[in-house]
């Protein structure tokens, strides 16, 4: 009886060995998924003032036509204080009692100040020869939209600033007078701060973004 039990155990071990040898090996573990692309955004100050250049316009606009149509959507800022002044006489007359005529000459002085960092909008864009000319209004009221200063830069220089255009004094002026320009029709004497003509800044926000695309090859079977 003891021998029969021993034979049964041996037979069971042989059967288990045969079946375990015929079974297929477990499938390989799946390859790990590649990590997703890593994007790092570095925030800069929310608002920056940068000198407006020809290179900036090239980046903003695909064509001259687009620049002419859309330049008025961008916020410009004046760098430099501008002071305009003109003197003129306004003459009137009236008839007094007893038939006496009175001539009245009113001597008027108009003074206009456009402070440094004043915001403006380009209401006109012209391209004449190799020059881009922007007509910028710094007045808030609609009735003064014809009061504009003009700024220009050469197309061939991507780093060129848009400086204010005016007629400089050829024979010198009084005090710190720099020249003359038209503003809303009349002609004004011009004064401004700094050694160079005032120029335009562009109001913008800038963000720097670093993107790392990382992947691992999973292999390929025939």
Token readout for 160 is 């060129």
Q: Is residue 98 part of a domain?
A: no
How many helical (H) and strand (E) elements, i.e. helices and strands, does the chain have? Answer: 3, 14
Q: Is residue 136 part of a domain?
A: yes
- Helix or strand (DSSP H, E) at 5: helix 2-22
Q: Is residue 38 part of a domain?
A: no
Instruction: In whole angstroms, give the CA distance from residue 111 to residue 84.
Output: 6
Give CB contacts under 8 A, 24+ apart, made by 175-184.
181/84, 181/149, 183/84, 183/112, 183/147, 183/148, 183/149, 184/144, 184/146, 184/147, 184/148
- What is residue 34's predicted lDDT score, i.e. its pLDDT? 56
Residues of the chain with pLDDT under 50: 2, 42
Q: Is residue 6 part of a domain?
A: no
**Alpha carbons within 13 A on the beta-carbon side of 42:** 4
Give CB contacts under 8 A, 24+ apart, made by 212-216.
212/37, 212/38, 212/39, 212/40, 213/37, 214/34, 214/35, 214/37, 214/38, 215/34, 215/35, 216/31, 216/32, 216/34
Q: Is residue 17 part of a domain?
A: no
Query: What's the domain count of the chain?
Result: 1
Instruction: Note the pLDDT tens digit of each residue in 45-62.
Output: 556 899 999 999 999 999
Q: Which SS3 state, helix, strand or coil, does residue 123 take?
A: strand
Do the beta carbons of residue 53 and residue 200 sit within 8 Å?
no
Q: Is residue 221 part of a domain?
A: no
Structural domain of residue 162, as residue ranges? Answer: 48-86+111-204
Do the beta carbons of residue 214 and residue 34 sit within 8 Å?
yes
Q: Is residue 29 part of a domain?
A: no
Instruction: In whole angstroms, give the CA distance from residue 188 to residue 203.
Output: 29
In the numeric block, the tokens 């401004």 are attached to 192
Q: Is residue 11 part of a domain?
A: no
DSSP assignments along 92-117, one per residue = EEEEPTTS-EEEEEEEEEEEEEE-TT
Instruction: In whole angstroms, give the CA distance from residue 128 to residue 134.
Output: 11
């Amino acid at each position: 009886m003891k021998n029969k039990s021993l034979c049964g155990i041996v037979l069971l071990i042989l059967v288990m060995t045969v079946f375990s040898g015929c079974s297929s090996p477990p499938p390989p573990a799946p390859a790990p998924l590649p990590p997703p692309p890593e994007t790092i955004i570095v925030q800069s100050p929310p608002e920056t003032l940068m000198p407006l250049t020809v290179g900036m316009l090239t980046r903003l606009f695909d064509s001259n036509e687009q620049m002419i149509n859309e330049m008025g959507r961008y916020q410009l800022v004046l760098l430099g204080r501008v002071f305009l002044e003109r003197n003129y006489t306004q003459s009137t007359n009236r008839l007094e009692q007893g038939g006496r005529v009175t001539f009245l000459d009113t001597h008027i002085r108009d003074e206009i100040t456009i402070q440094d960092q004043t915001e403006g909008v380009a209401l006109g864009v012209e391209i004449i020869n190799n020059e881009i000319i922007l007509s910028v209004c710094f007045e808030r009221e609609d009735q003064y939209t014809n009061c504009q200063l003009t700024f220009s830069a050469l197309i061939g220089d991507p780093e060129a600033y848009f400086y204010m255009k005016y007629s400089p004094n050829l024979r010198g002026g009084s005090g710190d007078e720099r020249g003359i320009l038209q503003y809303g029709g009349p002609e004004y004497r011009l004064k401004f701060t700094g050694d160079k003509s005032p120029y335009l800044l562009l109001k913008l926000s800038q963000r720097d973004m670093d993107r790392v695309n990382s992947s691992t090859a999973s292999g390929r079977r025939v």
